[in-house]
Amino acid sequence: MKKLFISQPMKGKTNEEIEAERAKAVEEAKAVLNDDVEVIDSFFKDAPVDARPL
């Protein structure tokens, strides 16, 4: 099993849009790697919309 870090633009997107993009990225990574992946969680659903990036 491989670990996967997903870096994606989130500004102006809803939680649902972000989660859908992440799910698609996971499926694509599984297909490319021909292996299962463990996502390194970097998405905080309860973060304020106007939060500045770290």
- Residue 50: φ, ψ to 5°: -95, 15
Alpha carbons 1 and 35: distance in angstroms, whole number: 6
Give me the residue spans of the domains in the chain.
2-40
Q: pLDDT tens string for the chain (54 positions)?
A: 999 999 988 888 888 999 999 999 999 999 999 999 999 988 877 766 666 766
- Give pLDDT, residue 6: 93
